Amino acid sequence: MLTPIKTYDELKELQSRISDEIDIRLGDKLVEKEIKKYHILVCSGTGCTSTESNEVRKKLEKEIKKRNLDEKVKVFKTGCFGFCKLGPILAIHPEHTLYCKVGLENVDEILEKHVQHGEILESLLYKSPKTGRYQRNINDIDFFNSQRRIALRNCGVINPEDIREYIAVGGYSVLAGILNNKTPAQDIIESLKKSGLRGRGGGGFLTGKKWEFALSYQSDKKYVLCNADEGDPGAFMDRSILEGDPHSVIEAMIIAGYCIGANQGYVYVRAEYPIAVERLEIAINQAKQVGLLSNNILGSDFNFDLDIRLGAGAFVCGEETALIKSVMGFRGEPNPRPPFPAEAGLWEKPTLNNNVETYANIPIILQKGADWFANIGTEKSKGTKVFALAGQINNTGLIEVPMGTSLKTIIYDIGGGIHDNKEFKAVQTGGPSGGCIPKSMLDINIDFESLADVGSMMGSGGMIVMDETDCMVDIARFYLEFAQHESCGKCIPCSIGTKRILEILERITKGKGEMEDLQILEDLCLDVKDSSLCGLGQTAPNPVLSTLQYFKDEYIAHIKDKTCPAGVCNSLLKVVISDEKCIACGICARICPVNAITGEHKKPPFKIHQDVCIKCGNCIQKCPVDAIYKR
């Protein structure tokens, strides 16, 4: 049972008493200390959990007890380290050793060799794809070298299910100081404005200005909302913050409530994030137990409560007016603006809405000062940005870099280059709302303005890397299919316009397109952008427009030559058998679901009848001599 904290001084005293435990993991203060304990932090985010990290953690705990190592070793859950492709991941402190792909079979060896004899297990270390060398210390790993973790500062460092660990790293001290000193709301807002923090949910609006608008409207009731409805394919930034550091979001929302005069907050999170929801529930309950939520917080006269609302996974609910309707129990559909939510949001009351990453930055900005944050990033894009790096890249995972970091640095230094040494082709930023940036722009700096200038956008932070095996026409079709499926149907330009765009793209990928389709496609995209009600329709054409701009030759090849240069679009491909390689074993004929392959056993070659073949690829996978291929 947690003990209630009633005053600012009690919070600071607790923080001082328990901070030594965290120092073991942070490392900077250990030079003069004798290390008496090993801390083993096991990633318990969604990615590692799916590869049985919880089972690894439980076996570690069992073996530690069995070996009577309880006084020497502690095991903790923690949030995402970012190396999602290499899970399960665990870190051993104080050496800051990072082990990847740890299985149940490795537990005994880790305890025997590393913990009891100080021997590093090289086979579990990260191996740099650039140098081929094993990298022992977290701080030496290429993946982390060019990062700067601010929003992710506590992920992989603290146990997200223990509020004391968040307090130990300075958590809730900003809130406590504000309540203790009765800091004027406008002073806090001015600090946020001076910091230059912009919304990380995609719009990039100045956070301090947004808070100021919400403060300016008078009402008997106001609300604070957190948008954790992360709907971009391949995006998992907000999920990872909630899984690894939920208290940073809670603290920021309480501060927001204090600033605008709200006493109630809601976190709108999609139900498909069960671990994030569970961690958030634990964090809220613990905050209430210690007196940091509900009535008379830290002995003050300020009251603030927080609840969770689960979303059903509708992409359109990432738009704030649709989100607000869903929180109230209605169908998630956007409303025209004005009025903006700051004036009339939840139940027609002034409502402040920010996303998870935006809130995660608030406590550290107010702790270290506006100037500290403003000195990171570019002139107009301050601070850092979290990205979900996915696709055809070696180091798939979660990264955080200063605004203005070049795309080349992200792809090759942090991402470790393209998988299987293939050729980099493009990167999609901003999810279904963003655009595709070609190889020729590899030196572009990643910030709000630079991405907008080349026809893409920051979005919430999805970053999908593509190589020579990706067809850009098919990529555009994929994102339009997603956007069309997620359209709420309220406005005609989006619901019908995206359907017509998708139909044209599907004709082109099937080899049935005409050259005039390209102009029709562009005109239709511009019409949908200009006339749609909300951000979904206004940005849905971006993948099409950017691929038309930078990869028009691929569209022309699909239309004029009836070929797919990347070998992706099945309708434009043939599955053929090499006369020279075929050994006439007959396996392909036996597994063909439509009997499109004929031939006589031991009398090569077998033949594929193109008018019957459905291009399923079964024969390619099963051929023992790689004699079958698409062309």
DSSP per residue over 467-527, as a string?
ETT--HHHHHHHHHHHHHHH--SSSHHHHTHHHHHHHHHHHHHTT---THHHHHHHHHHHH
User: Where residue 25 falls among pLDDT bands split at 50, 70, 90?
Assistant: low
Q: 472-561, which class in CATH?
A: mainly alpha
Which of 399, 415, 421 lies closest to 128 in space, CA to CA? 415
Residue pLDDT, tens place only, 547-564: 999 999 999 999 999 999
Using alpha carbons, list the distances in angstroms from residue 580 to 22, 356, 617, 626, 630: 65, 58, 20, 11, 16
- Token duo for residue 469: 């095996």
The Cα-based distances of 455 to 145, 188, 430 in angstroms read 29, 35, 11
Mean pLDDT of 320-334: 93
pLDDT tens readout for residues 197-223: 999 987 889 999 999 999 999 999 999
The CA distances from residue 527 to 501, 503, 540, 619, in Å, are 11, 16, 11, 44
Residue 46 has pLDDT above 50, yes or no: yes
Q: Mind listing the pLDDT tens digit for each residue in 343-367?
A: 999 999 999 999 999 999 999 999 9
**What value does the mean pLDDT take over residues 267-271?**
94
What's the CATH number of domain 574-630, 3.30.230.70, 3.40.228.10, 2.60.120.10, 3.30.70.20?
3.30.70.20
Query: Which residue shows structure tokens 């396996």?
Result: 587
Domain 37-144 adopts which CATH fold? Glutaredoxin (3.40.30)
Q: Is 298 in contact with 179 (CB distance < 8 Å)?
A: yes
**CATH class of residue range 384-467:** alpha beta
Residue 409 tokens, joined: 């640095």
Q: What is the mean pLDDT of residues 300-306?
A: 96
State residue 31's pLDDT score.
Answer: 35
Owner of token pair 């006439």: 584
Burial class (CB in 10 A: 0-12, 13-18, 19+), 6: middle
Per DSSP, the three-state class of 552 is helix
- On the question of pLDDT at 405 being above 50, the answer is yes
Percentage with pLDDT > 70 across the chain? 97
Sign of CA dihedral 242, 245, 249, 251: positive
d(CA 247, CA 260): 20
Tokens 């699909």 sit at which residue? 558
Of residues 402, 408, 429, 536, the one with CA closest to residue 482: 536
Q: What is the pTM of this model?
A: 0.92
pLDDT of residue 428 exceeding 60: yes
The CATH architecture to which 163-373 belongs is 3-Layer(aba) Sandwich (3.40)
Q: Where are the domains of the chain?
A: 37-144, 163-373, 384-467, 472-561, 574-630
Mean pLDDT of 265-291: 95
> Residue 590 above 80 pLDDT?
yes
